[in-house]
Structure 1
Amino acid sequence: MKNLKPYKECSSVFLDDVLKAKNISKKDPEYKKRVEILKPSVKKEYLTFETEHTANNLASLTTAGYVGQDKIDLLKLYKYDNSVIQKLNEEVTTLEGNRLINTCQNCTINEINSLDHIVPKDEFPEFAVNPRNLFPSCSKCNGHKSYVWRENKRSVFLNLYLDNLPEEQYLFCSPKFDADKITLRFTVENRFGIEQNLFGLIENHYKRLHLPKRFRKNSHDTIYELSKEINKYKDKISKDELIKTIKEDIVEEKKYYGFNYWKAIIKETLIDDKTYLTLMFN
């Protein structure tokens, strides 16, 4: 996982731009006029959102209470393929060195194909297109999140715009060997003194998105790639040199994809495992 940088410009202007980009429908030619009437009140709510976002306290928000046609109209503002929203998606997923990241950072498994509403749009239609409320995601994570996003006025998922990920390891895996078959079990553990509130949020995020189970299901390709690399080079360079090279690659992978990137954790675990090394080098 990597933290992404939230939208830097004015959220109210972004709202204006989204509405401008909406096509006028022959079935509902008055749509834009109705939303224009709503805009002043919505922009006031944006100021509240901005305050709580800055304080990383979005879970304390209370809904403005839009219902009926007003709610329908505000929800209609959001469309994933809206040109303004797609531009936002590209902007926040562009990292240092102009590197575009297209993997969902909520899970680091699937490609981005949706935007997660950090504060659910059905409960808060006023924030349906607030750019700081839209986080690039995959539909799988979006589906797991559903409408549950806070408990006792505390978030239950990481907000990767705001919650700075620790550099300490918290994701671990343990291998089980059955003949030539390797299965992995993933756990989230606080072995290195991560601040307790942050660790609790990490633990909740991984549990509610079923990430340990999803990592296990998707682990076979990574195991195969590591074994393939070892088999390719083990007769060309020494065992110690090959292990050193793989570990150097793991360090770079963690820098690139995040310190607790699950594929790097798999490789690191296996390359330090005596049973695995015996299996591969004997």
Structure 2
Amino acid sequence: MRGTQNLQRRSLLQGAGDSVEAAGERFRQAAQEGTLHDLDRSEFTVPGISASDAVRWAYENGMVSTRDGRAVYDRIMAAPPDETCPLCGHGSVRTLDHFLPKRMFPALCVDPLNLVPACADCNHAKGDGLPSTAGTTPLHPYLDRIDHDPWLGAKVTVSSPIWLDFFVSPPVTWEQVLIDRTRYHFALFGLARLFAVQANRTVSSIRKQLTELLNAGGKDMVRTYLSAEADTRLAHRLNGWEAVTYRTLARDDAFCSGAFTAA
């Protein structure tokens, strides 16, 4: 608001402060309770300001285009480790996604918890869709922390070339709604295909090394190498596609015995 020279506009924005703060609290409470799909959009307007003006004044002009606002924007963008998109765990952060669409929930357009750094592909895949049920609510990377449990699974499909099929393999301790949300998130962002393509590239890049290991010490030497690579990556990220790729390959007897030689 300090960058707003229009006095009437500044007055409207300042007058909406309490309403915007209350909207943020409703958002947080609903996220904690798993009821984001039940939110009433009429409770997330900005008093006296249209949705398009609220977004333009507060987000596009206030956050993106002013020095102080841009500093906040840049801090949010820089939050993910190694600039890795927290929605897919693979792409590079290139944009800020509004978890709840800013034009439908203008009161949340600059709420830090509603701003999620994302790669361009994930931002496009998510679009402006709204959850219709608890089970069709994407995972929020800062509220739904699930990576302390192993949930990403894969299996080897012996073909030419070798292909890995990735899927959600939830722990038995998870509630059904979390399973549904994880599977929905997985499908929404196309993670099965994304991870499979990357896994296939990994296999291609290490095929020569695996062949040399197989010739030198048989399948046990291949398995030892793959297991060591898996352990290193699993320690860094339990559900990373690369870690799960190496673990899956190490557990597959046909692969360790030379199935990777198929072109």
2:194 matched to which residue of 1? 214
**Structure 1 residues 241, 274: CA separation in 2 closer, same or farther (over 3 Å shift)?**
closer
Three-state SS of the structure 2 residue aligned to 1:184 is strand
Instruction: Please tell me whether residue 198 in structure 1 is matched to residue 178 in structure 2.
Output: yes
CA distance in 2, matches of 1:185, 1:246: 18
Three-state SS of the structure 1 residue aligned to 2:158 is strand
1:50 matched to which residue of 2? 25
Alignment partner of 2:40 out of 50, 62, 71:
62
2:12 matched to which residue of 1? 37
Instruction: Please tell me whether residue 261 in structure 1 is matched to residue 240 in structure 2.
Output: yes
2:210 matched to which residue of 1? 230
1:105 matched to which residue of 2? 86
**What whole-Å deviation, never above 9, does each CA across 1:173-221 have from its counterpart, x for those lacking one?**
2222235x11222222336442222111111111122211222233322
**What whole-Å deviation, never above 9, does each CA across 1:29-65 have from its counterpart, x for those lacking one?**
63x7514422332442323423541561461433333
Pairing 1:29-178 to 2, within 5 Å after superposition:
30=6, 33-54=8-29, 56-57=32-33, 59=36, 60-63=38-41, 64-66=44-46, 70-76=50-56, 77-79=58-60, 82-90=70-78, 92-93=79-80, 100-152=81-133, 156-178=137-159
User: Alpha-carbon deviation of 1:231?
Assistant: 4.4
The AA in structure 1 aligned to 2:15 is P
User: Alpha-carbon deviation of 1:86?
Assistant: 0.8
Question: Contact 2:156/2:162 (CA < 8 Å) preserved in 1?
Answer: yes
Question: Contact 2:229/2:246 (CA < 8 Å) preserved in 1?
Answer: no
Q: Which runs of 5+ in 2 are unaligned?
A: none
Q: Which runs of 5+ in 1 are unaligned?
A: 1-18, 94-99
**What whole-Å deviation, never above 9, does each CA across 1:227-282 have from its counterpart, x for those lacking one?**
3543465677786466335323322312323x221121111111211111111699
**Structure 1 residues 75, 52: CA separation in 2 closer, same or farther (over 3 Å shift)?**
closer
How many residue pairs align between the two structures?
248
Question: Contact 1:49/1:61 (CA < 8 Å) preserved in 2?
Answer: no
CA distance in 2, matches of 1:117, 1:281: 42
Q: TM-score, normalised by structure 1?
A: 0.74
The AA in structure 2 aligned to 1:162 is L
Runs of 4+ in 1 over 6 A off after TM superposition: 235-238
**Structure 1 residues 154, 34: CA separation in 2 closer, same or farther (over 3 Å shift)?**
farther
Q: TM-score, normalised by structure 2?
A: 0.79
Structure scoring higher RCO (CA < 8 A, sep ≥ 6) equals: 1
Larger relative helix fraction: 2
